[in-house]
Chain A
Amino acid sequence: MLHVLGVGHAWPEGRLSDSFLDGVVELGDSRSGSQGIEQRASVLSEEYIALAKNNHVEETEKVASDTPTDLSERATLQALESAGISPEDLGLLLAGVCTPQQTTPSEAQRIGKRLAQKIPAYDLYSSSSDFALHVSTLLDWKDEKIPDYVLSASTGCATTRVSYESGEAPYLFGDGAAAMVLSSRRTGKLKIIDAAFITDPAHASLFSIELYGHLTMSPKALSTWIEPTTEKLLRKAIEKNSLDVQTLRWIDPQVSLPSMCEVASRVGISPENHWHNLERVGCSLGASPVTVLSEHWGELVAGETIVLSTAGPGMSAGYIVFQSTEG
């Protein structure tokens, strides 16, 4: 049995508003805020985007306010604090990053350096479903192989890979990081009762980020893969774990608010039980759903059930089912 002892998140300070993007991006047939987003967290300044439109992604290294590792460090420190443990207590670091500043060493090792820890650290990476991958992997491990405390982190600065010339991507993506402290030996605020992770490599080309180029997401990715897969997995989580849709809290993958509101409606989840922050910070891929969980950490009530869904590049998707153990 795995428990979540603490959660943390971090965003850069900068925000990109609809009104700013409307003045920079060629909209074509799309329109401002089409995914229900009003502003996005970004490591890039409005001045840089207005001037360069991020046509040369390597320039972002010089102008970004934070690196992905800066964000994951802040999220990690917050997660450790909320778990009430110190970095020295950790026995394993797992991480994922979709926009690495370096392709070697791994993001987990860079986080380990910031924490000054000499412990096993490596990346377990699936673009947007890192947390579902990390948790489902740990649930599949022999108990004796799981250290007392495991850090699971995901970070990314997707805005550094967006072309601000045209299209909907400038309106969708934001930057951020999230982290969870997991334990199989100590009881935490959330008990993990189930998790799943799937990939569909046949559709990998729907959503990609070039090492030296821009992010591309097919207009079909949301309607043909992300939305139906999210709904299918959410229904599976509910059925498999006999969850009450009237009371469960749902955190969607944070890719499109209108689309996920429709999923919630079809499944029977009420708007007040559908948690999201996409409208305020944009989609930061793997980190996004856990940033939502982290924002609600202080208000969790004993006995609550939360389903956290993930979906994105890979194509990959998953879910984690949590049950709150204390008020």
Chain B
Amino acid sequence: MLHILGMGTSFPETDISNRFIEDLDIGTSEEWILAKIGIENRLSTLPIEYVESTRNERPQEARKAANCTVTELGVEAAKQACERAGISPKDVGLVVCNCCTPDQVAPSEAQRLAKELGIEGRAYDVFTACPAFALHMDFLENFKPEALPEYVLCVSNAVLTQNVDYNDRSASAIWGDGAAAWIVSAKHPGKLKLIDSFYTTDPTRCDAVVVDTFGHFHQDGRAVRDFSVRQTVRLVRKLEQEYELDWSKDIFIGHQANRTMLAQITNNRKIPDENHWFNVTSIGNQAGAGAPATLAMHWDEIQPGQRILVAVVGAGLSWGSALLEAAS
């Protein structure tokens, strides 16, 4: 049985508002963005002057202009997760990381994080982009419990605003930057225990969401949106039946792609607003960090016995879920 002992987040400070995007004069408006995707604001590692003056035409320049690195975000999130778990980073025996916007392609992002945190245990990347929370929990659940160290640090961090073409009205409105981290243990009980996990992919559709190493993010928006809603609804429905989820007290967290997509899912499954946690409206889509960051932001509100379903989808195309139950 896996437990989550603590969670943390970190976000950059630059606000990218709908008004700012409208003022870029790229064929969109504050009203249109709100109506279509329901995002009010994004947080970015890029200085606003840089975005305005360059539109980030060359992502290579974004790395130099950024106020902080993706690894720095991951480190801050990890420190908070350790603090909430009541452990020191030095207690961590394994680091697994999911990062779709690394500053270096070798060593792995997990190894860079471990170096910064002074962790001497093993470190490697377990990568699938957006559904990282489901993959990491399912990946760790595959281990014989005795093969895992006492504490595992999972991190998902992304700075996709650095790969956005700010002449592209769709991509400009979607992305934010952030990091989430969580401490997992098979040996120590924690606030949340994992009661079900699932992860899979359909690689035949992997070209639907792409971040070119030397280029920008691009996606087949309509196809991805349809896939995301349909697949998440399937995941939720299956687990509702299997575990008799009660949306009057249990919590749903979806992939933080956009607010209107999440609304389609919650409307379909009749999940009330007060039992639906999200952060995309104020931070933007943080790729794999979004869902776990949302959970981490509500860490202190989790009620004993409450079940939390995290159902996530994204690049790959891949999807998965983790059903958690709070300790009584």
Contacts and interface: CB of A to CB of B under 8 A. Distances in A.
A104 B100 contact: yes
Interface string A129-148: 00001000000111001000
Contact of A118 (B111, B203, B315): B203
B63 interface: yes
Interface string B182-224: 0000000000000000011111111101111110010000000
A109 B105 contact: no
B316 interface: yes
B204 A123 contact: no
Of the four ranges (under 10, 10 to 19, 20 to 34, 35 or more), the interface on chain B belongs to 35 or more
Given A120-B200, A199-B123, A204-B107, A106 B129 contact: yes
B203 A141 contact: no
Given A122-B126, A142-B144, A204 B102 contact: no
A113 B104 CA distance: 25
Given A105-B316, A142-B144, A207-B106, A122 B128 contact: yes
Given A120-B201, A211-B63, A105 B129 contact: yes
A100 interface: yes
A155 interface: no
A211 B60 CA distance: 9
A314 B97 CA distance: 13
Consensus secondary structure, chain B interface: mixed
Contacts of B200: 119-120
Given A104-B211, A117-B203, A120-B199, A207 B127 contact: no
Interface string B121-151: 1111111110000010001011110011000
Interface centre among A133, A212, A312 (most CB of B within 10 A): A212
A210 B203 CA distance: 27
A313 B316 contact: no
A98 B105 contact: yes
Contacts of B286: none
B85 to A, nearest CB: 20
Contact of B106 (A98, A101, A142): A98
B206 A58 contact: no
Contact of B204 (A118, A122, A197): A118
A124 interface: yes
Given A102-B211, A201-B119, A285 B106 contact: yes
Contact of A204 (B111, B204, B207): B111
A199 B111 CA distance: 8
B115 interface: yes
Given A118-B203, A202-B120, A103 B114 contact: no
Contacts of B100: 103-104
Contacts of A108: 203
B107 A314 contact: yes
A117 B204 contact: yes
B128 A102 contact: no
Given A99-B105, A104-B315, A141-B143, A201 B120 contact: yes
Contacts of A113: 203-207
A202 B201 CA distance: 34
Contacts of A123: 125-128
Contacts of B212: 101-103
B203 A93 contact: yes
Contacts of A58: 60, 214
B127 A106 contact: yes
B232 to A, nearest CB: 18
Contacts of A207: 106-107
A97 to B, nearest CB: 8
Contacts of B63: 211-212
Interface of A: 58, 61, 93, 97-106, 108-113, 115-128, 133, 140-142, 145, 161, 197-202, 204-205, 207-212, 215, 285, 312-316
23 contacts: A104-B100, A105-B203, A105-B315, A110-B206, A113-B205, A118-B201, A118-B202, A120-B199, A122-B139, A123-B126, A123-B127, A125-B124, A126-B111, A126-B124, A128-B106, A142-B143, A142-B144, A197-B122, A202-B115, A202-B118, A204-B114, A312-B106, A314-B108
